[in-house]
Amino acid sequence: MITTVQQHILNEQQRFPHARGRFSWLLSGLTLATKMTEAKIRRAGLLDVLGDIGEVNVQGEKQQKLDVYANNALLHCLGLRDTVAALISEENEEPITFDREQGTGEYAIVFDPLDGSSNIDVNVNVGTIFSIYRCSPEVGSKAAVLQPGIKQVAAGYVVYGPSTIFVYSAGSGVFGFTLDPAIGAYVLSHEHMRMPERGNIYSVNEANADSFPPAYQDFLGKLRKGAFGRKYTSRYIGSLVADFHRTLFKGGIFLYPPTETHAQGKLRLLYEANPLAFIAEQAGGMATDGTRRILEIEPCDIHQRTPFVIGSKDEVSRLRDSLLQAKAV
């Protein structure tokens, strides 16, 4: 017997007597948009959807054609849900808000519509990342979505690869659903996912290593030398979703330290770090900006960047302790 993602959410809601089914209606918009995006990606080499459109987004990055398609799909499918009061996309400079009737518009959704989209042209895994917050009363302002990650109602991602997998948590564990193309539905395939407490893989763009702070360089040197009692291997895809998905299954550590050109880090706090940190913690892992717990950082801008370290407790806590010690000197 199969369990679709919608059935799973409805089953979970039965544990809450006052649930009204609005959250499952919201999630159906997300899954529909990601299935639309998946269909385009599967035919990318046959359609005119490869390459960039000759414009840059608010992040200063070249917009890929599939970036635009995925963003529009999410804006359309979620904008039709009356439970949604605000949509905050990596591709848009300002939040998109809706003038809903009283008693509706409960949620704000933050998303990166197509993480790693520059890899599409060479058929490398990409993904969609999202997080969901309850709205504060002043929903029309940026302040409504500038909430620390610990206040996320749910978060998740979709990785588009050999199979398409939807991973999410609503605070009661992490669940994975694989898209079955035969029936067009996400089917429960990974229940109560757990990240190993220790791994043997580290993931980082080592081409930038010379510009990492010394404590990061020292930590990476120890990993390469097997200083922590095991031999580590390096694996780096360059699509955050894909690198994290591997880390969730295999353990180890992913890190994107501050560099000379990105002193505040490169990854976005709201669109990337917070949702993945939520998933990691629900699965028994950790996430930090080097010294602080990611989910406790108070954001001051919707496009705020952060250094990012995520993975198994053993590796992440070792690096955090090293960075705190270096900071105290």
Domain shared by 219 and 310, yes or no = yes
Domain end point (choices 163, 190, 217): 190
Residue with tokens 């994107």: 256
pTM of the full structure:
0.92
Question: Which residue among 190, 217, 246 closes a domain?
Answer: 190
User: How many structural domains does the chain have?
Assistant: 2
CA dist., res. 308 & res. 152, Å (int)? 18
What is the predicted pLDDT for the residue at 206? 93
Rounded-to-10 torsion of CA 168, 172, 173, 178: -40
In this prediction, residue 1 carries a pLDDT of 80
pLDDT at 102: 61
Considering the domain architecture, whether residues 29 and 170 belong to the same structural domain is answered as yes
Closest of 229, 221, 159 to residue 189, by C-alpha: 159
pLDDT on residue 312: 98
Q: By C-alpha distance, which of 205, 41, 225 is closest to 124?
A: 41
Residues 106 and 152 in one domain: yes
**What is the CATH number for 215?**
3.40.190.80
Rounded CA-CA distance 252/285 in Å is 10
Residue 173 lies in a domain: yes
**196 located within any domain:** no
Same domain, 164 and 237: no
- The two tokens of residue 306 are 């952060």
Residues 205 and 179 in one domain: no
Domain extent, residue 26, equals: 5-190
301 neighbors 272 (Cβ within 8 angstroms): no
Query: Does residue 28 sit in the same domain as residue 122?
Result: yes
CATH number at 11 reads 3.30.540.10
Task: Give, for all 329 residues of the chain, the pLDDT tens digit.
Answer: 899 998 888 887 776 555 556 788 889 999 999 999 999 888 766 555 555 555 555 555 667 788 889 999 999 999 988 888 889 999 888 888 877 666 567 889 999 999 987 777 777 899 999 999 988 655 455 666 789 999 999 999 999 988 999 999 999 999 999 999 999 999 999 999 999 999 999 999 999 999 999 999 999 999 999 888 899 999 999 999 999 999 999 999 999 999 989 999 999 999 999 999 999 999 999 999 999 999 999 999 999 999 999 999 999 999 999 999 888 76
Instruction: Supply φ then ψ for residue 150, to 5 degrees.
Output: -65, -20
Looking at the structure, tell me whether residues 211 and 167 fall in a common domain: no
Q: Where are the alpha helices (DSSP H) in 93-138?
A: none
Which residues lie across from 286 on neighbouring strands? 311
